[in-house]
Every structure is written in C-alpha cells, then in structure tokens.
Amino acid sequence: MKRQIVIAGNWKMHKTNSEAMQLANQVRIKTMDITKTQIVICPPFTALAPVYEVIGDSRIHLGAQNMFWEKEGAFTGEISAGMIKSTGADYVIIGHSERRQYFGESDETVNKKVKAALENGLKPIVCVGETLEEREANITLKVVSRQIRGAFADLSAEQMKKVIVAYEPVWAIGTGKTATPEQAQQVHQEIRQLLTEMFGSEIGEKMVIQYGGSVKPANAESLLSQPDIDGALVGGACLKADSFSEIIHIAEKLQ
Ligand SMILES: O=C[C@H](O)COP(=O)(O)O
C-alpha cells in the first residue's frame, strides 16, 4: 500500500503579503475535497502569519523555508524555530540546495537546524540531492549518503518519525529537466535502504521521501506512482493555485 502522500509547495522568494494571502486562499478553495493527501505550503517568513490567518485550521499545513538553530540572541536577520512555530507553522524546509549553494549551508548546519526544529515541535523537510557534475561522475549515491548521514547525525529513531526527506537533484530544480521516474525511484530506494540501516526497518519503511525538481501536473502521476516516492516538493508549479491543486488531485487519486 502507498504511504500517505505529502505535497509541499515551496514558494521561495515570491509573493508580497497580499499576494500570498490570495494564493493561499485559492489553494484552500481548490483543495476542499482533498481528504487523504497532506498539503503543506511554505511562503516566505514575512507571509507566514498572514497566510495562517487564511488557512487557519484547515487541512493545509504551513511551513517555513529555513530557520536558525539558536533559540534567541544577537543574530541579526535570523529567525528561530520558536518564532516560526508561533506563526502557526508546523513544518520547516531545511538544507534546500539553494541554501547550500548561495548561503553556505553545510551538512553540519543542516544537522543543527534539524535538531532545533524537532526540539521546538517543527517537522523538518530535509533536502538532499546531487549536482549535474556529481551525477555525471557517478557519485550520486555517495553525495546523498553523506548528506543524509550528516543531516541526521545523533538523532534517534523516535525523532526520525517526525522527519520528511526531499530528494531534489540540483540539476532538475527550476530547469524544466525532471529526473525520469526510474532515476528518481532508484535514488529514493537507496535513501530508504540507508535510513533502514541507520534507524531500523520501521523508520525505513514509513519515512516519507518526497521528490523535487520541476514537478508539474504533466509529470506528477508517473513520479508519484513509483513505490518509494511519497510526495513532492514543488517549486515553480506551486505559485499558481491551478497547477498546485492539479498536482494535489493527482496525488489524491493514487491513494
Ligand atoms: O523546493 C522546490 C524545488 O527546489 C523544486 O523547484 P522547481 O519545482 O521550481 O524545480
């Protein structure tokens, strides 16, 4: 049986507050019939609280796109897990490849953030994935394993129950190039195997592993039908309520 599918929309650095509230409301209206798929929307920090006002306690969950690991202090420009939680959010994306590429995030900082998120009751969506260069050098598995071992160092199986992994091949993000369902399935299976080795078969079996990288209505079904693909982390296609809700409806039919 398919695990519960989780479709998350990463709005990245898009939408003013009024635009964000409008989009969230459209997504809410267009997904009122959804009962099985878990929906998460991740607007920019500035729009978290206003978007929560719109989605309230509906089945749509709210997530942030990043966080800092310290509780509070002189860290100008940073946002803590507790602050995110106070907006009504219960998810946070950690270690997105854009954070790794442009803001110097490492496996070590990802690990600190994952721990702080869990301590504050936020569910981390932890991103891993190889660059095109790494794929062509045949080191995809090596890179993804290093990222997984680093991100989840010192965590218990109990803590891992709250975690989602998102496999996002960097070469497929925002490029229109999607990994083929077979390419994605292969890496997802390897990630699941590694998680089983690290945390036992229950975690390995139940872990939600999302795919991300140019997911759109046209390719969602073939990706989400793969046995080890349990959801999607959607970028571009989540900025329009029509395409995002279409992906969610495709997911809903597969469960
Ligand atoms: O977090 C989302 C991913 O980076 C995917 O973005 P994309 O769907 O625009 O390729």
The helix or strand, by DSSP H or E, that contains position 182, with its residue range, turns out to be helix 181-199
Give me 162's structure tokens: 């709250």
Distance (Å) from CA 82 to ligand 1 centroid: 26
- State the pTM of this model: 0.97
Residue 9 bridge partners (DSSP)? 41, 234
Report the C-alpha gap between 142 and 88 in whole angstroms.
Answer: 37
Residue 208: phi and psi, rounded to 5, are: -80, 120
Ligand 1, residues at Cβ distance < 6 Å: 10, 96, 168, 173-174, 212-215, 233-237
Question: Is 96 a residue of the active site?
Answer: yes
Question: Is 188 a residue of the active site?
Answer: no
Q: Residue whose CA is closest, atom 7 of ligand 1?
A: 235
Instruction: Name the residue ranges covered by the structural domains of the chain.
Output: 6-253
Residue partners of 130: CB distance under 8 A and separation at least 6: 139, 140, 143, 144, 169, 170, 171
Q: Which atom of ligand 1 is nearest to the CA of 213?
A: 10
Dihedral sign for Cα atoms in the order 41, 10, 130, 69: negative
CATH top-level class of 6-253: alpha beta
pLDDT in tens for each of the 255 residues of the chain?
678 999 999 999 999 999 999 999 999 999 999 999 999 999 999 999 999 999 987 789 999 999 999 999 999 999 999 999 999 999 999 999 999 999 999 999 999 999 999 999 999 999 999 999 999 999 999 999 999 999 999 999 999 999 999 999 999 988 888 889 999 999 999 999 999 999 999 999 999 999 999 999 999 999 999 999 999 999 999 999 999 999 999 999 999
From start to end of 111-229, where are the E strands? 123-128, 164-167, 208-212
Distance (Å) from CA 93 to ligand 1 centroid: 12
Strands 231-234, 60-64: pairing kind: unpaired
Give pLDDT tens digits for 3-60. Answer: 899 999 999 999 999 999 999 999 999 999 999 999 999 999 999 999 999 998 778 9
